[in-house]
Amino acid sequence: MVEQSGSDAYDFSTDAGVPNLTPLETMRHSAAHVMAHAVQRLFPGARVTIGPAIETGFYYDFAVDTPFTEEDLPKIEAEMARIAAGRHPFRREEVSREEALALFSSMGEHYKVELLQAIPPGQTITLYRHDDFVDLCRGPHVEHTGCIGAFKLLSVAGAYWRGDSRNPMLSRIYGTTFPTKEELDAYLRQLEEARRRDHRKLGRELELIHFEPLAPGCAFWLPRGAVLWNTLSQWMRGLLLSHGYVEVRTPLIFNKRLWEISGHWEHYQDNMFVMEAEGQVYGLKPMNCPSHMLLFGARRRSYRELPLRMHDQGVLHRAEPSGTLGGLTRVRQFVQDDAHLFVTPDQVAAEMDQLLGLVDRVYRTFDLRYQVKLSTRDPAKMMGDPALWDRAEADLRSTLAARGMSYIEQAREAAFYGPKIDFDVTDAIGRKWQCATIQLDFQIPLRFDLTYVGEDNAEHRPVVIHRAIFGSFERFIALLIEHYAGAFPLWLSPVQARVLGVSQRHDAYVREANELLLRHGVRSEVDLSGDKLGAKIRRAQLDKVPYMVVIGDKEVAARTVSPRTRDGRQLEARPLEVFARELAAEAQPPPVAD
RNA sequence: GCCACUGUAGCUCAGCGGUAGAGCAGCGGUUUCGUAAACCGCAGGUCAUGGGUUCAAAUCCCGUCAGUGGCUCCA
């Protein structure tokens, strides 16, 4: 439901200054204090830890013997309301480290003691008090507890202390607050609205996808979902082939020895599906790169072949932990619009530029907004030649800048094998999902001992770029379903037209019109139910069919059709042939090149 | 994997210790109807699953599976 923001008001280790909270964040953070106060009144054993404002509200993590349940929330809300009504002023207090340690030790707040010990020497330590509650906190806060706005507690969750799964699990309560009741209600309504366009709900209602408990994390694609998939898959092929890619198809199952070469066996065995046959151990591929490395290395390669752009829509499997699965956004079986580019170091910048253009073209085609993240080296775990890293990171920054793309840079977030650029898209309920990704890899060519023969007749090491634009078809389609709320643009619509007769007397011409549309390549179907036209229209609307083709006495007599659009417009009657040609033309996919 | 919650007909949900219900969808019939729901009838469920408590369990307890919201993870 909520995304942890980067601005943790208690993270003393990374920010020496006073946090610069917006008024809304200040109010939310103060609400977190009031919630902690309420919790400690109701649950005297609860120990406080941290409780920041986040993008959608606030949370507070508590150490308790028995975790909170949702039934506890109304009680806590009621107690918060009492504290708010008391209008207790927030009081800031600077104390010495010793005073603070003594205070929190005496209170048994050992998590606060641990936080205190992490504060760098010389930094001012502040307490914030209201009524009889005290918390270690940098502030700022609102004037008094009456100023925390219209609040609501939303959910409980487990969360590891300091975000580390080796640490104890704390009990987190999420809440939100807004300056006015109206804004809070608007937010809650917006959450409701978002649930209506959830791809899991629409995917079922529109008969796109299906799941079975016997195949957790693996989607069935129903006929209409399969149309979506195939349409996107073909369009992507066209786009990539027109940009100098070649397509390959590679095996799903490889001998364990391949995974030992690639390093997966050592690091990611637990996330792989492993099987055995005739005494040999095999693994289902979790990614395509090793197969592509084998293909590149299968014969001598010349510099004249580079850049070599190898596309593969192969099926991948990852044994994701059960607790992380969800709808189409996190699955165990998926397909990426994957490619590996084999390039010389000199070609990196130009390839990056082409890729950024491709990514932008694709996301503009679907009106999807994305956020760009550049991840640069972590000196502690980077491998390879630092000069190569220097140049690659500089290339990435300059190509991003040259295209005028705004991005956030995340230092130390790169993989050990090279820097990367990720593109995040937000789903209906505000969660961010990584879709497109561009990753430089200096290590894998080494592991597979890949070389090409240069102009100088000597062997050279290529650089590999892993890249996907949709990311996975599964996740991308989930986001498209939510983005369009199931009302796909014509070229993607699983059903583009449905032919509806006013009465069953018109059935013969209804069938004829449908067949003509099909022959023109339009994805058309008929509604031959005995229902009245109104009911057929209603059903087509709910199915989000772009064109309803109405046929009655007039149309039969004149050999015309009367189209109605999904957005309720009634178009003028026109000859059947004319409509079929118009629709076929309008249903063409967007161009893949200018 | 960890924390919390949920699992009743294809879908949405009611029932919450006395032995299963509605609407929609489906099927049959009547109606032949011009732009978001015609009418009548029928059928459909070992109440996720395995165990336990009880005279009696969909209802209470435990295990398992799956889903949902988070946390960790996402090469």
- Does the ipTM surpass 0.90? yes
Domain boundary pick from A483, A509, A534: A483
Of the candidates A193, A218, A410, A185, the one whose C-alpha atom is nearest the C-alpha of residue A318 is: A218
- A342 bridge partner residues: A308, A464
How much is the pLDDT for A18?
A: 54
Q: Would the Cβ of A200 be found within 7 angstroms of any atom in strand B?
A: yes
Cα–Cα distance, A500 to A548 (Å, whole number): 7
How is A110-128 classified by DSSP, letter by letter? HHHHHHHHTSPTT--EEEE
- Tell whether A49 and A87 lie within a shared domain: yes
- A405, part of any domain: yes
Scanning residues 408 through 447 of protein chain A, those with a beta carbon under 7 Å from any atom of strand B turn out to be 415, 417, 429, 431, 439
Q: How confident is the model at residue A76 (pLDDT cuts 50, 70, 90)?
A: very high
Question: A232 burial class (0-12, 13-18, 19+ CB within 10 angstroms)?
Answer: buried
Strands A253-255 and A245-247: unpaired
Q: Is residue A593 part of a domain?
A: no
Give the per-residue pLDDT at A250.
Answer: 97
Residue A233 lies in a domain: yes
Give a yes or no: residue A365 inside a domain: yes
Question: Residues A160-202: pLDDT tens digits?
Answer: 999 999 999 999 999 999 999 999 999 998 888 889 999 999 9
Q: Residue A512 is part of which domain span?
A: 497-586
A11 and A151 inside one domain: yes
- Residues 61-90 of chain A within 7 A of strand B, judged by CB, are 66-67, 69-70
CA closest to B34 C1', residue: A502
Q: Is A470 exposed, middle or buried (0-12, 13-18, 19+ CB in 10 A)?
A: buried
Residue carrying structure tokens 């789903």: A427
What's the rounded Cα separation, in Å, for the pair A564 and A555? 14
| Run of H or E residues at A134 | strand A133-136
Listed range (A40-44, A316-320, A383-387, A540-544) with the worst mean pLDDT: A383-387
Band (pLDDT 50/70/90 cuts) for residue A490 is very high
Rounded to 5°, the CA angle A240-A343-A405 comes to 65
Within 8 A by CB and 6+ apart from A276, the residues are: A282
Residues A377 and A479 in one domain: yes
In a domain, A594, yes or no: no
Single residue among A197, A225, A257 that ends a domain in this structure: A197
Q: Is the CB of A193 under 7 A from strand B?
A: no
Q: Are residues A152 and A53 in the same domain?
A: yes
Is the residue at A203 inside a domain?
no
* Residue A337 annotated among the catalytic residues of the structure: no
Confirm whether any atom of chain B, the nucleic acid strand, is less than 7 Å from CB of A505: yes
Cα–Cα distances in angstroms (integers) from residue A257 to residues A261, A262, A264, A291, A452, in the given order: 6, 9, 10, 12, 24
In terms of domains, do A322 and A386 share one? yes
- Of A93-97, A153-157, A325-329, the poorest mean pLDDT is in A93-97
* Residue A478 and residue A550 in one domain: no
Q: Is the peptide bond before A140 cis (omega within 30 degrees of 0)?
A: yes
pLDDT band at A19 (very low <50, low <70, confident <90, very high): low
A339 and A466 part of one domain: yes
Residues shown for chain A: 594
Q: What is the pLDDT of residues A215-262, one digit of tens each?
A: 999 999 999 999 999 999 999 999 999 999 999 999 999 999 999 999
The last residue of one of the domains, among A164, A197, A230, is: A197
> Which nucleotide is nearest, taking the CA of residue A420 and each C1'?
B75
Asked if A41 and A142 sit in the same domain, the reply is: yes
A526-558 pLDDT, tens digit each:
999 999 999 999 999 999 999 999 999 999 999
Our measurement of the distance from residue A201's CA atom to the centroid of its chain's CA atoms, rounded to an integer in Å, reads 17
Sheet holding A91-95, edge to edge: A91-95, A125-130, A133-136
The total domain count for chain A is 3
pLDDT at A9 over 80: no
Do A325 and A376 reside in the same domain of the chain?
Answer: yes
Whether residues A569 and A522 share a domain: the answer is: yes
CB A136 within 8 A of CB A53: no
Residue A359 included in any domain: yes
Give me Rg for the CA atoms of chain A. Answer: 29
Domain containing residue A153: CATH number: 3.30.980.10
- Which CATH number belongs to the domain containing residue A538 in this structure? 3.40.50.800
pTM greater than 0.90 (yes/no): yes
Residue A8: predicted pLDDT:
35
CATH of the domain at A423: 3.30.930.10
Instruction: State residue A440 phi and psi, 5-degree precision.
Output: -85, 145
| Whether residues A112 and A228 fall in one domain | no
Residue A204 in any domain: the answer is no
Q: In this structure, is the dihedral angle defined by the CA atoms of residues A382, A388, A394 and A396, taken in order, positive or negative?
A: negative
Note whether A49 and A128 are same-domain residues.
yes
Task: Give the SS3 label for residue A402.
Answer: helix
Q: What is the pLDDT of residue A472?
A: 96
